């Protein structure tokens, strides 16, 4: 049942780009930007910003932007503002943290469900690598295998909170319990999961939670959130002259200050998707729950429509998932399907989408992967209908 109380028309009207008439089902690769985020970025530039730590007001403004951004990201994921490390994207930050956390003599556990950005940074540390396998039919990541994979030499377990192609939400909390019992750290990739529902990194058992603002209506900025006390124990490579405090120690070079103002505006936007009261954290939890319900109700129509078409193969059937579908159409390459849909005004992705190990496990990486159609909070029933109609025409 579609939720009639979710204010979809109001939400859509915040996004100027949606006026071009395309059905934006490519949100898993990056969402569109609402007006308040565009305004916040341009307001930062208009007001005048300087590098942080100077003796003049424009420098203070940048300092305030950074502090507000850390507080906003902490509210979004349930973390501590002093543990929010900001950077250009999740991949860059994960490489940086991986070098500081693991090395030869350690063991790391990675999974074939993960985006490559939560695999290669760990496998390239020189640590011994242990692999968690996926069930290629269901798209699930069975938890039981972790009891054998995690041992006393395990330094870290890296796992995604949701697959960026199948949408699978593995039981991260159960994996974290096994990791913590063995004294290992948990690095959770929340890039795909964050836009699709409320996040509580502590409930997930995440020692590190990575996210990217451009997946949830913000600018191209990444963040990794951890307990500041844990960050204090790590020594990343850094310049002699840059701050040694936490979290600044993990941030290289000059930040994109105006974009950070946009990140805060994006969090405020998400907190206000539905009317609510209370702290921003409380409003975020309510708003993102409503968004998840909205997405999953639409997704039920989308996935049922695809699964009943005889010329379509849908990959995975995970029990808990985001509104993300990955499929192929008989007689057409994924690229041909994406081009056909683009011609009908429907944006979808084709390829492996950096889910390198997973598309390998599905046996489709070398043949061009598949087509990904994903829903976010601004998608509506007509987006779904246009996708289904376009795919049906290929039958």
Ligand X SMILES: Cc1ncc(COP(=O)(O)O)c(C=O)c1O
- Binding region for ligand X (CB under 6 A): 89-91, 115, 117-118, 160, 164, 189, 191-192, 212, 222
Closer Cβ to ligand X, 322 or 328, answer by number: 322
Cα–Cα–Cα angle for 367, 169, 371, rounded to 5 degrees:
25
Distance of CA 20 to the CA centre of its chain: 25
DSSP string, 109-135: EEETTS-GGGTHHHHTTSSEEEEEPP-
As given in the structure block, the two tokens for residue 43 are 């307001």
Closer Cβ to ligand X, 79 or 195, answer by number: 195
- Min CB(153)–ligand X separation in Å: 26
Instruction: For residue 366, give the DSSP letter.
Output: T
Closer Cβ to ligand X, 215 or 294, answer by number: 215
- Min CB(120)–ligand X separation in Å: 11
Closer Cβ to ligand X, 192 or 249, answer by number: 192
- Min CB(42)–ligand X separation in Å: 23
- Min CB(235)–ligand X separation in Å: 23
Closer Cβ to ligand X, 155 or 169, answer by number: 169
Of 166, 178, 175, nearest to 140 (Cα)?
Answer: 166
Neighbours of 363 (CB within 10 A): 9
DSSP string, 170-233: --HHHHHHHHHHTT-EEEEE-TTTGGGS---HHHHT-SEEEEEGGGTTS-S-EEEEE-HHHHHT
- Min CB(94)–ligand X separation in Å: 8
Name beta bridge partners: 324. 374
Closer Cβ to ligand X, 259 or 286, answer by number: 259
- Min CB(340)–ligand X separation in Å: 23
């Amino acid at each position: 049942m579609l939720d009639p109380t979710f204010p979809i028309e109001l939400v859509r009207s915040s996004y100027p780009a949606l006026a071009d008439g395309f059905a934006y089902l490519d949100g898993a690769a990056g969402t569109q930007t609402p007006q308040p985020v565009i305004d916040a970025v341009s307001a930062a530039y208009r007001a005048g910003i300087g590098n942080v730590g100077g003796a003049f007001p424009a420098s203070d403004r940048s300092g305030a932007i950074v502090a507000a951004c850390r507080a906003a990201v902490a509210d979004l994921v349930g973390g501590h503002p002093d543990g929010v490390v900001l950077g250009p994207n999740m991949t860059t930050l994960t490489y940086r943290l991986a070098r500081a956390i693991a090395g030869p003599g350690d063991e790391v556990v990675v999974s074939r469900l993960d985006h490559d950005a939560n695999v290669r940074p760990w496998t390239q540390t020189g640590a011994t690598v242990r692999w968690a396998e996926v069930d290629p039919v269901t798209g699930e990541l069975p938890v039981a295998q972790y009891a054998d994979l995690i041992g006393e030499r395990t330094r870290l377990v890296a796992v995604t909170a949701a697959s960026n192609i199948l949408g699978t939400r593995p039981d991260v909390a159960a994996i974290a319990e096994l990791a913590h019992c063995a004294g290992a750290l948990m690095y959770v990739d929340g890039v795909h999961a964050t836009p699709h529902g409320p996040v509580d990194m502590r409930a997930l058992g995440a020692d590190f939670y990575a996210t990217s603002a451009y997946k949830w209506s913000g600018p191209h900025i990444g963040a990794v959130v951890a307990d500041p006390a844990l960050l204090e124990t790590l020594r990343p490579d850094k310049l002699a002259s840059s701050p040694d405090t936490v979290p600044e120690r993990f941030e290289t070079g000059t930040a994109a200050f105006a974009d950070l103002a946009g990140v805060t505006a994006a969090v405020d936007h998400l907190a206000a998707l539905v009317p609510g009261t209370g702290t921003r954290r409380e409003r975020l939890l309510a708003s993102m729950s409503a968004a998840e319900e909205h997405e999953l109700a639409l997704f039920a129509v989308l996935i049922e429509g695809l699964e009943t078409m005889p010329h379509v193969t849908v990959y995975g059937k995970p029990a808990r998932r985001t509104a993300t579908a990955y499929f192929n159409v008989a007689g057409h390459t994924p690229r041909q399907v994406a081009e056909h849909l683009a011609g009908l005004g429907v944006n979808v992705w084709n390829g492996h989408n950096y889910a390198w190990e997973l598309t390998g496990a599905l046996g489709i990486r070398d043949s061009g992967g598949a087509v990904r159609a994903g829903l976010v909070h601004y998608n509506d029933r007509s987006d779904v209908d246009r996708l289904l109609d376009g795919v049906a025409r290929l039958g």
